[in-house]
Structure 1
């Protein structure tokens, strides 16, 4: 590809700053011409299932006389056509550069002189980079298509985005980025999407102004657009970044040394080359081709071209301000193989060994780049991998299920005027067990609910994680049997009442009849069907948690209880009734996958009947997170927080994409099985909108802590019963900026935490007593919910629930309304605790700070107090396995 681009630039006489436009045009043409892997066909035809049209192919860089609409002419006597240079293809028409005004625009009405190039002399930088002119162009004429429908003339002006990125090619400032300009003019959609593009990018508002040929701007010069807006100073560079062919948000595959796989990515979602592989049957092959099967294969030197290479600069430009990187112009030219760094990749590990002489490489330690999860590939990545046949089978199975359940009308129909068909896409996920082994290749054809405009109610209840833990503990203590089930294609059981049309990946539109995955109302429609089925079988929902159900049947004079927790399409059953009989009956209405409780919502639940111990952990999930983020071999630390990394407000937004992704994963883990990181993760979550490098370092510390405590789990003892005890604490004015206090509490059942929280108080407390009193109010509300849920489940508490606190002043204030002068400003709702005490629902008891279990939810602790905090939570470490253990080290 780069050989052709270089030739085009030389023959046309255009400066090297136009390389991105040449590369885009080459991509467009290459996807519409036959390749060695596709004799008699083209990548475009294989993907879009229609013949390409090449009627508008033109010689790149040639002279064209473009019609200017009357309303855009400066005066009536101005010529109707202007002389311009053809530099690429647009959605409708061609892209042109006007040397006289130094602007790029699009028009569909032009006369081409394909034998005229009007060679001009480029600037000295361009001349230095050029090689000897070759004797031929790119070979035989292409036989692909230009996907343009209609003959109406279209003229558009392009401009910068809000950051002013698409400015002058060939300049070094991040506001003058030829790659961004190339993205703005790319005619196709996101190259990483799983489906063909369903829409086109709208043209920006101002004109894009390339660097004028034959001239250079001095450092500090300012660039003006046609509307007179002044941009930031530009700084010329003499080092050209590695070319990248890209369209939309993500970089497309580019291999070093100028060799790109064919078909070239970036054209309407055309798939990359993969090795030919036999599909299971002719029917599967037909369906796979319809739903986006691999287009063919291409080999170079006997090796499959499957790697995804990308210029690091294209990753960084929207993540890190370039002026914050050391010697950043060297970093931009680094080419990275994304397949070798799936998941989170630390920038220093990318750059180290890729370039030489970069100063201050330690400054890159705080930055990471998300390059995708290996277990959630895009369709193109899946079809380029070794397990593409498994993905194809999974996709065909999904299609058969959708057809069999009459999800949409068999015949394609166009939606009524004014009604937009909702696009669909393919989502792929590898399912793994607790050992990390792949157990299933799961494919879903889902609706783009983010593009859905009309819908009704969307609320659908799911069981709280605390309720799920409580049901497990109750079943363990009472000796109930536990089973779990998963409803196959649950959402498809819901019915769509309003008229909706969807656009399938093959481009056809159908009237939707069932609640397809991805629709905003699908969860609610499925829950309505499920709720009705459970009520018909005698189950009653709990008012305290509408995702929890209970059924009591009198069999032979004995009451038999069944408890059920529903989380979307996953169910947890516990009780002394006939659970197998219920599931067999339920399976007749909904096809189920069922079995003993082992792995539920990512939580591994193990029971030892001999010792009466039940453990809940997420070791496998934490290991996956660490592997994806590059922390599998990181050095461990003893605590998740450090005094040296203080949290502060303000900063820049350059880390928010990476930061939010990691914090989201940590929030799930901390809310399910790891209360010991709850405080640290809560602190991190407060800076998702505007993180700073210090917050990123703290996040990395939490991951290192998980690396050293990956086998830590909650341990519940059957012999301790189901009576609950609460611990409540606060840290007065812990927030350095707003001076608000931190509240923390935990509920202990059967010897371990059943629910917990670490929250910032909503108002400033004027004293430590007020802070503790407000924390008691939060714990009292949680106590009332726990007691009410236990009562509804059939296990009412027989005595007041004990809440432990370490503030005598707060306990005295809750017991008696004393010290009116110092407490009269406290909001009324905080006195809720006093009412529960007087009614005998709760009992407050004082304990020392060293015995306070909730202390670790209000502040970061040093090593010894933190280890004590972990033990009091009921957490233990499983025996470590392996040849060696690096151990923990204090940081």
Structure 2
């Protein structure tokens, strides 16, 4: 009986266990069938199915989410018990060279310290300074440092210092910035207030460093909800904080000029921009775009309603839109005269390539010079030190690029070729249209550029002879030559040799873009003349391009109008003293007879003595009406009267006329018309291949059309663009195959040299390739191709000249010691500014091997000093003599000490002549030398190949910009 009862009990238990096991299996099975729903969903579908505890690995693997964050209720009970820290950046480099900032926030008082950083690795040194500050100023110490797991906080140096000071380092979990919430929210608050400060007064992006310092200054003085509406500084100091000294960030301010810094008739105040507060001095930080310095001043009067920067621009870095630089002038708009194309097959338009912006600042020629690095922003602790596009488009290559097929239209299938439409492109990967946009120019200026692009000038007599307008131009030129008794048709005497001749064709434009005339000029082949037989003296005074840029900068800074004039058949006004015979020009009725030649009575274009004869004639006329020649440049003529100042610059038969009296300019034009056949081309618009866009904001110079022609001639219009003209790892000592065609190499280098008139960005690269003109190799040709690829991506880059209201002279000098791996000679580089505008620059290999970096820098300083003296002489001739010393910035303190040290040392004997020259200028206060940080050294771009970021950063500071970059 007991056995039966026991067996029944075991049977019942077995059934119960089996039933529960079936329930678990059903639960798990339905959980899998329904894609692992939650227990709540499963219970709703099967209410009779009991919930079974089941750990499902698949649910964890597929549905894992973050656990909720709970608000921390812990709070420090004493100041500096807990300090929160975080780093922000990188971002576009500020005007003073910073890319990051780090904050330290006290948990108890919530007061914030902000340090500006150039590199993240500086955090360790910054924290050491901050900790010493707390120890010294508050007799306290940091107990706990809270941060994220950034490598800068986890470095060995930081760990060793924290351990040595007994500071506990608490870090957030990996990928959990919420655990460092106080520092993260503080950075957000700082950035929000920085944007407010900069947007309301249109402050350019490059001044963000001063913006965050000022924002931190204000946050420490604003009431906080966390502190029961007390300010952090009030909690820390235990007293109310005075706010009466606060001003609107970015507003216009006027700073009193001390008596010893000005003459009696000089202005008594400088117009500056207010950029924050000083903690080391009782004054305001103001930035002067003319001197490019941030200085603390007490005698400041504010105009808090008027922004210093006229309009907001988030991407140009200068506080104004490019469209403001080139407003539509009151000129008739020229219709686009794009000729029609007759392609062999239809042109399929390639899709536009996407672009990504780089936020580097760019186009302010007023370059900041930081005297003391600004690193700390704590308004109460008084430890803050104090110190004026570029828009670069990165072209993203699309996947599966289309194949480029180029074919030139046969002559019989096309009309007059256009340099922009001369090639039919089928789905080209790097079409020129992807890298040029004219939206930043006014409609009138865009129409003018369109006329330049679509105006074809014949390259040979055969081509011109088929076009009616050029046939008429040649007939007019021959008629003018006959009317002026330029030659006599004679039989060539025995023993005489006749020089050849050719036609040159040029289209002349009015300032509004309309065609003034088609000009055919007959040129003698003067290179076949023999010295002593056909000519004696050849020297002619032609304006230096440096003088042209200085004149333009002076005119812009004084708001003078600039006019251009062209002398028709200028060389025919010069008389010949030698007996010269020339072959009859192509198209002449007797040109088929080789014995019939022209005996020249007057100078003609192309003869070696013609420019000298014409200059003598024109200069005598100008001197008769009261002009005198400049001592610095004999092609510049000046007339300074009691009520007016007029300037005339001569470049062969092209004249630039400017001055402060429009009526006197008109009288001068009339006087010149009475002597010569002169064409008034109006406002200066297109001079020697330089395109000029003028507005009340300034003058923009570039050689866009010249670059397009150069790329087409080199058959590289559809090449892949490069970001820089040189590879940063360039090596010149690489062995390569010599080039067989020297002429092609030399022709390309010659064209690039002319392009440097408005392109300082390629000056160093061109100086390198020009050193191998007589023995180039394939490696040197590759360098030229790299330069052309860079030009493809920066067709519209040029120089911006702005009205800065002064004519102060300053220069930057640098040298790269023994950088040439072939002969170990150093490179001299310098650039100079007049009135805040870049006017001259040079990149040249030194003639001797320098024995030290100081010697190389000193020789560079001497070259720059000579340039500064010449500029001072030129401005003196223009009537702008200043007793203020010229500023020369150098990043080598040894060279600066040699310049100011009156004692010659043994190590400087071999450069004694240079020492005497530069030292005389320094001691006589003509030149004032200043030390500049390496990152502020603008001449670096003329001495070495730089990284992409540094290269474009310096370009922006030089005033080089590219308004044709696509948006």
In the alignment, structure 1 residue 476 sits paired with structure 2 residue 561? no
Q: State whether residues 738 and 778 of structure 2, in contact with CA within 8 Å, keep that contact through their aligned partners in structure 1.
A: no
Which position in structure 1 is the counterpart of 2:250? none
Contact 2:816 2:826 in 1 (8 A): yes
Tell me the secondary structure at the aligned position of residue 513 of structure 1. strand
Output one character per residue of 1:108-134: Cα deviation in whole Å (capped at 9) or x when no partner: xxxxxxxxxxxxxxxxxxxxxxxxxxx
Aligned equivalents of 2:894, 2:635: Cα separation in 1:
39
Deviations 1:63-120 (A, max 9, x none): xxxxxxxxxxxxxxxxxxxxxxxxxxxxxxxxxxxxxxxxxxxxxxxxxxxxxxxxxx
Query: In structure 2, what is the equivalent of residue 422 of structure 1?
Result: 499
Does 2:601 align with 1:516? no
How far apart, in 2, do the equivalents of 1:461 and 1:794 lie? 22
Is this contact kept in 1: 2:797–2:964, CA < 8 A? no
Matched, 1:837 2:922: yes
Contact in 1 for aligned 2:739/2:778 (Cα 8 Å): no
Distance 2:825 2:633 in 1: 31
**Matching residue of 2:567:** 487
Change (3 A) 1:701 1:438: farther
* Residue in structure 2 matched with residue 535 of structure 1 by the alignment: 623
Equivalent residue, structure 2, for 1:854: 939
**In the TM superposition, what are the counterparts of 1:779-858 in structure 2 within 5 Å?**
779-817=864-902, 820-858=905-943
SS in structure 2 at match of 1:757: strand
Q: What's 1:41 paired with?
A: none
| Alpha-carbon separation, structure 2, partners of 1:408 and 1:338 | 40
Tell me the residue number matched to 1:599: 686
Equivalent-residue separation in structure 1 for 2:904 and 2:608 (angstroms): 53
Q: Residue 455 of structure 1: which of 532, 535, 538 is its match?
A: 535
> RCO higher in 1 or 2 (8 Å CA, sep ≥ 6)?
2
1:563 pairs, out of 604, 628, 647, with: 647
* 1:735 alignment partner, one of 807, 817, 820: 820
Pair 1:407-2:486 in alignment: yes
Structure number with bigger Rg: 2
Structure 2 unmatched ranges of 5 or more:
1-341, 343-406, 426-454, 586-590
Residue pair 1:343, 1:628 contacting (<8 A) in 2 also: no
What are the residue-to-residue correspondences of 1:543-622 with 2, within 5 Å? Answer: 543-553=631-641, 558-577=642-661, 578-594=664-680, 595-609=682-696, 612-622=697-707
Distance in 2 (CA, whole Å) between partners of 1:437 and 1:741 is 49
Q: Using a 3 Å threshold, how does the CA distance of structure 1 residues 798 and 607 change in structure 2: closer, same or farther?
A: farther
Matches within 5 A, 1:256-405: 375-383=457-465, 388-405=467-484
Residues 504 and 606 of structure 1: CA distance in aligned 2, closer, same or farther (over 3 Å)? same
How far the C-alpha of 1:644 sits from its partner, in A, is: 4.7
Deviations 1:588-630 (A, max 9, x none): 1111111111112222222321xx3222222222222223323
Q: Deviations over 1:437-462 (max 9, x none)?
A: 98754322222222222212110011
The aligned counterpart of 1:669 is 755
Checking the alignment, whether the CA contact within 8 Å between 2:736 and 2:779 is kept in structure 1 is no
Q: 1:861-880 to 2 correspondence within 5 Å?
A: 861-878=946-963, 880=965
Distance 1:720 1:821, change over 3 A: same
2: CA distance between counterparts of 1:438 and 1:597?
A: 15
1:818 offset after TM fit, Å? 5.1
CA spacing shift, 1:718–1:377, aligned 2, 3 Å: same
Q: TM-score, normalised by structure 2?
A: 0.50
Which residue matches 2:243? Answer: none
CA contact (8 A) 1:343 1:629 kept: no
User: In structure 2, how many angstroms separate the alpha carbons of the residues matched to 1:803 and 1:809?
Assistant: 15
Check the 8 A contact 1:752/1:875 in 2, yes or no: no
In 1, Cα distance between the equivalents of 2:745 and 2:667? Answer: 47
The partner residue of 1:704 within 786, 789, 805 is: 789
Q: Does 1:682 align with 2:757?
A: no
Q: Which residue of 1 aligns with 2:545?
A: 465
How far apart, CA to CA, are the structure 2 residues paired with 1:575 and 1:651? 55
CA distance in 1, matches of 2:903, 2:510: 57
Aligned mates of 2:517, 2:677 — CA distance in 1 = 17
Q: Deviations over 1:556-608 (max 9, x none)?
A: xx431101110011111111231111111101111111111111222222232
For residues 257-316 of structure 1, the C-alpha deviation after alignment (integer angstroms, 9 at most, x for no partner) is xxxxxxxxxxxxxxxxxxxxxxxxxxxxxxxxxxxxxxxxxxxxxx9xxxxxxxxxxxxx
Separation in structure 2 between the aligned mates of residue 626 and residue 685 of structure 1, nearest angstrom: 19
Residue in 2 that maps onto 1:87:
none
SS of 1:471's equivalent? helix
Distance 2:674 2:629 in 1: 22
Between the aligned partners of 2:409 and 2:684, the Cα distance in structure 1 is: 40
CA distance in 1, matches of 2:583, 2:819: 53
Q: What CA distance in whole angstroms lies between the structure 2 residues aligned with 1:658 and 1:769? A: 39
Task: Verify the 8 A CA contact 1:777 1:832 in the aligned structure 2.
Answer: yes
Alpha-carbon distance between aligned partners in 2 of 1:484 and 1:433, rounded to the nearest angstrom? 10
> Whole-Å Cα distance in 2 between the matches of residues 338 and 816 of structure 1?
71
Moved more, 689-698 or 532-541: 689-698
Q: Secondary structure at the match of 1:759?
A: strand
1:25-174 correspondence runs (5 A): none
Q: Secondary structure at the match of 1:711?
A: coil
Q: CA RMSD in A?
A: 3.0
Alignment correspondent of 2:520: 443
- Distance in 2, matches of 1:437 and 1:707, equals 28
In 2, the alpha carbon distance for the partners of 1:820 and 1:596 equals: 56
Residues 720-769 of structure 1 deviation map (CA, whole Å, 9 limit, x = unaligned): 52111100000000111110000100002233311000011110000101
Q: TM-score, normalised by structure 1?
A: 0.54
- 8 Å CA contact 2:815, 2:943 repeated in 1: yes
- What's 1:714 paired with? 799
Q: Matches of 1:552 and 1:778 in 2, distance apart? A: 31
For 1:871 and 1:440, how far apart are their aligned partners in 2?
38
SS at match of 2:615: helix
2:685, 2:693 within 8 Å by CA — same for their partners in 1? Answer: yes
Counterparts of 2:515 and 2:747, CA distance in 1: 23
**Partner Cα separation in structure 2 for residue 632 and residue 720 of structure 1:** 40
**Aligned equivalents of 1:519 and 1:783: distance in 2?**
35
* Other structure's SS at 1:391 match: helix
Are 1:504 and 2:584 an aligned pair? Answer: yes
Conservation of the 8 A alpha-carbon contact between 1:653 and 1:689:
no
Report how far residue 685 of structure 1 moved.
Answer: 0.9
C-alpha distance in structure 1 between counterparts of 2:786 and 2:795, whole Å: 14
Q: Which runs of 5+ in 1 are unaligned?
A: 1-302, 304-334, 351-372
Distance across 2 between alignment mates of 1:437 and 1:700: 35
Deviation readout 1:366-399 (Å, 9 max, x if unpaired): xxxxxxx974522224446xxx222221211111
Q: Distance in 1 between matches of 2:924 and 2:655?
A: 37
- Give distance in 2, aligned partners of 1:654 and 1:691: 9
Q: Deviations over 1:622-657 (max 9, x none)?
A: 222223323333222111110354224885241321
The CA deviation at 1:846 is 0.5
CA contact (8 A) 1:728 1:779 kept: yes
Contact 2:831 2:838 in 1 (8 A): yes
Deviations 1:5-34 (A, max 9, x none): xxxxxxxxxxxxxxxxxxxxxxxxxxxxxx
Shift of 1:868: 1.2
Query: Structure 1 residues 781, 717: closer, same or farther in 2, change over 3 A?
Result: same
